[in-house]
Structure 1
Amino acid sequence: MGSFARCSPSSGPERFRNIQLQEFDTYDQNFLQLQFLRKRSKIIEIVAAKDIIFALATNQCLCFLNLSPDELIRSLFYNKNNDSLITVSVYGSDNFRSLKIRTTSIEYIRRNKLDAGIPLFETESLKWPGFVEFDDVNGKVLTYSAQDGIYKVFDLKNYNFLYQFSDKNVQEIKISPGIMLLIFERTPSHVPLQILSIEDGTILKTFNHLLHRNKKVDFIEQFNEKLLVKQENENLQILDINSFELTEVSSTDFLTPSAFIFLYENNLFLTVRNRTVAVWNFKGELVTSFEDHLLWHPDCSTNNIYITREQDLIISYCKADEPSPSPSDEPPGDATVISMSNILTGKCIAKISANDPELRICPGRRGETGHSSIRSTVREALEDVTALFYDEDRKEIYTGNKYGLVHVWSTRVGCCL
Structure 2
Amino acid sequence: MDGRRITANPRPSVLRRVVAKKRPRGGVDEFVNSVKKIQRREICSKKRRAFSMSDAQERFRNIQLQEEYDTHDPKGHHSTVLPFLKRRSKIIEIVAAHDTVFALAQSGVCAAFSRETNKRICFLNIGPDEVIRSLFYNKNNDSLITVSVYAADSFSSLKCRTTRIEYIKRGQPDAGFALFESESLKWPGFVEFDDVNGKVLTFSEEDSIYKVFDLKNYTLLYSIPDKNVQEIKISPGIMLLIFNKSSGHVPLKILSIEDGTVLKSFNHLLHRNKKVEFIEQFNEKLLVKQENENLQILDVRNSELIEVNKAEFTTPSAFIFLYENQLFLTFRNRTVSVWNFRGQLVTSFEDHLLWHPDSNTNNIYITSNQDLIISYCKSDTDHPSTDGNAGSINISNILSGKCLAKVKATNNLSINECNCNNNSVRCQCNPRRQTPSFVTEALEDITALYYDEKRNEIYTGNKLGFIHVWSN
- TM value normalised by structure 1: 0.91
Aligned-pair CA distance for 1:83: 0.5
1:20 to 37, 54, 64: 64
Aligned-pair CA distance for 1:377: 1.1
Contact 1:11–1:349, Cα closer than 8 Å, also in 2: no
User: C-alpha distance in 1, partners of 2:441/2:223?
Assistant: 49
Contact 1:11–1:350, Cα closer than 8 Å, also in 2: no
Q: Secondary structure at the match of 2:405?
A: strand
Aligned-pair CA distance for 1:29: 2.0
Matched, 1:320 2:369: no
Q: Secondary structure at the match of 2:166?
A: helix
User: C-alpha distance in 1, partners of 2:305/2:417?
Assistant: 56
The amino acid of 2:273's aligned partner reads: N
In structure 2, the residue matched to 1:43 is 91
In structure 1, the residue matched to 2:117 is none
The answer for unaligned runs of 5 or more in structure 1 is 1-9, 412-417
In structure 2, the residue matched to 1:342 is 397
Aligned-pair CA distance for 1:368: 6.9
User: C-alpha distance in 2, partners of 1:348/1:247?
Assistant: 31
User: C-alpha distance in 2, partners of 1:189/1:354?
Assistant: 55
2:76 to 22, 31, 34: 31
147-156 vs 120-129, greater mean Cα deviation? 120-129
The amino acid of 1:148's aligned partner reads: D
In structure 1, the residue matched to 2:456 is 395
Aligned-pair CA distance for 1:383: 0.5
Q: Secondary structure at the match of 2:376?
A: strand
In structure 1, the residue matched to 2:369 is 310
Cα distance change, pair 251–364 in 1 and its aligned pair in 2 (3 A): farther
Contact 2:92–2:447, Cα closer than 8 Å, also in 1: yes
163-172 vs 79-88, greater mean Cα deviation? 163-172
Contact 1:89–1:101, Cα closer than 8 Å, also in 2: yes
Matched, 1:261 2:320: yes
1:233 to 292, 315, 335: 292
Cα distance change, pair 99–250 in 1 and its aligned pair in 2 (3 A): same
User: C-alpha distance in 1, partners of 2:254/2:316?
Assistant: 24
Contact 2:142–2:164, Cα closer than 8 Å, also in 1: yes
In structure 2, the residue matched to 1:415 is none
Q: Secondary structure at the match of 1:13?
A: helix
User: C-alpha distance in 1, partners of 2:304/2:385?
Assistant: 51
- What are the within-5 Å matches in structure 2 for residues 361-400 of structure 1? 361=416, 363=418, 365=420, 375=433, 377-400=438-461
Contact 1:78–1:84, Cα closer than 8 Å, also in 2: yes
Contact 1:13–1:350, Cα closer than 8 Å, also in 2: yes
Q: Cα deviations across residues 303-349 of structure 1 (Å, max 9, x unaligned)? A: 0110000000000000122559776xxx422xx11000000000000
User: C-alpha distance in 2, partners of 1:202/1:262?
Assistant: 24
Aligned-pair CA distance for 1:360: 2.6
In structure 2, the residue matched to 1:54 is 102
Cα distance change, pair 172–354 in 1 and its aligned pair in 2 (3 A): same
Q: Secondary structure at the match of 2:168?
A: helix
Contact 1:134–1:142, Cα closer than 8 Å, also in 2: yes
Aligned-pair CA distance for 1:12: 6.4
Q: Cα deviations across residues 236-283 of structure 1 (Å, max 9, x unaligned)? A: 100000100100011111111111100000011111111111101100
The amino acid of 2:60's aligned partner reads: F
In structure 2, the residue matched to 1:103 is 162
How many pairs were matched up?
397
User: C-alpha distance in 2, partners of 1:402/1:323?
Assistant: 24
1:211 to 264, 270, 282: 270
User: C-alpha distance in 2, partners of 1:55/1:173?
Assistant: 29
2:207 to 122, 137, 148: 148
1:198 to 248, 257, 264: 257
In structure 1, the residue matched to 2:16 is none
Contact 1:20–1:362, Cα closer than 8 Å, also in 2: no
Contact 1:23–1:364, Cα closer than 8 Å, also in 2: no
Aligned-pair CA distance for 1:404: 0.1
Contact 1:46–1:56, Cα closer than 8 Å, also in 2: yes
In structure 1, the residue matched to 2:3 is none
Aligned-pair CA distance for 1:167: 1.4
Cα distance change, pair 380–361 in 1 and its aligned pair in 2 (3 A): farther
Aligned-pair CA distance for 1:17: 1.9
The amino acid of 1:348's aligned partner reads: C
Contact 1:140–1:155, Cα closer than 8 Å, also in 2: yes
- TM value normalised by structure 2: 0.81
User: C-alpha distance in 2, partners of 1:377/1:361?
Assistant: 13
CA root-mean-square deviation: 2.1
User: C-alpha distance in 1, partners of 2:384/2:363?
Assistant: 21
Matched, 1:332 2:389: yes
Q: Cα deviations across residues 132-187 of structure 1 (Å, max 9, x unaligned)? A: 11000000001111101111111101111111111111111100000000111112
The amino acid of 1:360's aligned partner reads: I
